[in-house]
Amino acid sequence: MNNIAYYNGKTSPIDEMMIPMNDRVVYFGDGVYEVAYVKNHKPFALYDHLDRFYNSCRMMSIDFYMNREELTDLVQSLIDQIDTDAECILYWQCSRGTAPRKHYFPNPPVKPNLLAYVKPLAIPPMKNRIKLITVEDQRFFFCNIKTLNLIPNVFASQKAEEAGCDEAIFHRGDMVTECSHGNISIIKNGALKTAPLNNLILAGTVRKHLLEFCNANGIPVDETPFKVAEMVGADEVIVTSTTTMMRAAYEIDGQPVGGKLPDLVERIQNGYVERIRKELNL
């Protein structure tokens, strides 16, 4: 089949899957999620995604009932049912469970709900530079949890879409945090700078790989906050996420940016592609 969905033991094509109205994800977005890249029926960096998933469950006080091996076997069984070796996306989410609508946690606790799907997804070429817009970061202070509460991200993405841009950059005052669905870093004088991990940004898996590549290849890394003006004046601006990988920007808020160290950007991108090839035996 071309795609497959899973919910609490049931499978079907994505368009046919139904979930209970009283799943707390419907009323409250009370859950966490993960997204992984798949090629040739193999998920990339799955262990990194599992680390973040279980950490998000812990921070949300969701007692997820599967261990890592069980969840790995489950998602792999879904991937194996897709009839293409092309690029796919693996998505899964865990909600607190199904219970009548009350804001506090169900008491006694109920079993969490697991939803997952696999479907084809064409990743845009990393060499294509992107156009960005800045948006004031009005989210709460749990950005380090990959929670399903994403309305500010939706609004920011819609603003980017209406402006003809590819992505929105969040900032609190003049300090840059991250993007509506990815992390952001800058390169200045040959060094990579990115916001530190805290409760204001998500610990992105591609961000992690970017830093690992730089540290292993003599590219200085500076994990400190940077301002909007620094970003606009940087030699390069790089957005990272599972569904866009590593892409450099050419414009922010209508101003030309980046393009000063294209060879370094290409070196980093090629290094990431090589990492994917090695892990997935491509």
For the annotated catalytic residues, the residue numbers are 146
Q: Answer whether 146's CB lies under 8 Å from 199's CB.
A: no
Cα–Cα distances in Å, from 84 out to 25, 110, 280? 30, 37, 15
Q: Answer whether 246's CB lies under 8 Å from 269's CB.
A: yes
In the chain, where does DSSP find H-type helix? 24-28, 46-59, 68-80, 151-162, 205-216, 228-232, 262-280
* 77 Rama class: left (phi>0) / alpha (psi -120 to 50) / beta: alpha
Do strands 236-241 and 183-188 pair parallel, antiparallel, or not at all (unpaired)? Answer: antiparallel
Give dist(CA 164, CA 27) in Å, integer. 32
